[in-house]
A = this chain, B = another copy of it.
Amino acid sequence: MPKLWNETIAEHRRTVREATLETTAALVAEHGLASVTMSQIAKETGIGRATLYKYFPDVESILAAWHEGHVSAHLEHLTRIRDRAGTPGERLAAVLQAYADITHERPQHTEIAAVVHRGEHLAHAEQHLNALVRDLITDAAQAGDIRDDVAPAELASYCLHALGAAGSLPSKAAVHRLVAVTLAGLNLSPSTPDAAGGDD
């Protein structure tokens, strides 16, 4: 791939890193973790084996980095949605809908999950997500958009657990219904009652 060498070294490194992450995730998803080797990853990525080892010590660490990138991107996405205009209730509903969509679309590779879910970055990301939803709930409760008889942290945990059901739902429509049911638990009155599917 000669084009790479026209770019700066930093860009080149980022490109190699990204290519390695995506190649590895695809190989593990297709063949299973046990049968994927560093040599195979180097070959598929189009880099030398020695070069690959300068980036990552083993397959597990590549998967962890791949997962960390996805989790960070999801958090940024949710943060952008949180910062849009709207009442606290509307912004809460939009963030929960987006979280349910992410959960629904996330590939359910149980093998990859078992490896990457040990990582510390995931604990941080979960805390971040919990805090984001909890603060939105606090604002919405203070604005009178949702119930205020249960602590925001408890309601955040309820929401995130309930929306976990999106992972095994068959359709976007079912995910939409799940979000509506979850919001009903918060006593959120829909802001657009007569506009079906009217989320952002």
Measuring CB to CB, which residues of chain A are less than 8 angstroms from any residue of chain B?
A: 114, 147, 150, 154-155, 157-158, 160-165, 168-169, 174, 177-178, 180-187
Partner of A182, one of B147, B162, B169: B162
Indicate if the CB atoms of B182 and A184 lie closer than 8 Å. Answer: no
Which residue, of A161, A168, A180, A182, has the highest number of chain B Cβ atoms within 10 A?
Answer: A161
What is the CB-to-nearest-CB distance from A96 to chain B, in angstroms, rounded to a whole number?
12
The secondary structure that dominates the A interface is helix
The complex places the Cα of A155 from the Cα of B173 at a distance, in Å, of: 14
Top 7 closest pairs, chain A to chain B, by CB: A185-B185, A162-B162, A161-B165, A157-B165, A181-B185, A161-B164, A184-B185
What residues on B are CB-neighbors of A162 within 8 Å? 158, 161-162, 165, 182, 185
One complex includes copies of this chain to the number of 2
Which residue, of A154, A162, A163, A182, has the highest number of chain B Cβ atoms within 10 A?
Answer: A162
The complex places the Cα of A114 from the Cα of B169 at a distance, in Å, of: 24
Can you list 26 residue pairs at the A/B interface with Cβ under 8 Å? A114-B114, A147-B184, A150-B177, A150-B180, A150-B181, A154-B174, A154-B177, A154-B178, A155-B181, A157-B165, A157-B168, A158-B162, A158-B165, A158-B178, A158-B182, A161-B161, A161-B165, A162-B182, A162-B185, A164-B164, A181-B185, A181-B186, A183-B185, A184-B184, A184-B187, A185-B185
The complex places the Cα of A157 from the Cα of B90 at a distance, in Å, of: 25
The complex places the Cα of A178 from the Cα of B159 at a distance, in Å, of: 10
What residues on B are CB-neighbors of A165 within 8 Å? 154, 157-158, 160-162
What residues on B are CB-neighbors of A157 within 8 Å? 165, 168-169, 178
What is the CB-to-nearest-CB distance from A57 to chain B, in angstroms, rounded to a whole number?
22
The complex places the Cα of A114 from the Cα of B168 at a distance, in Å, of: 20
Which residue, of A154, A180, A181, has the highest number of chain B Cβ atoms within 10 A?
Answer: A181
What is the CB-to-nearest-CB distance from A9 to chain B, in angstroms, rounded to a whole number?
41
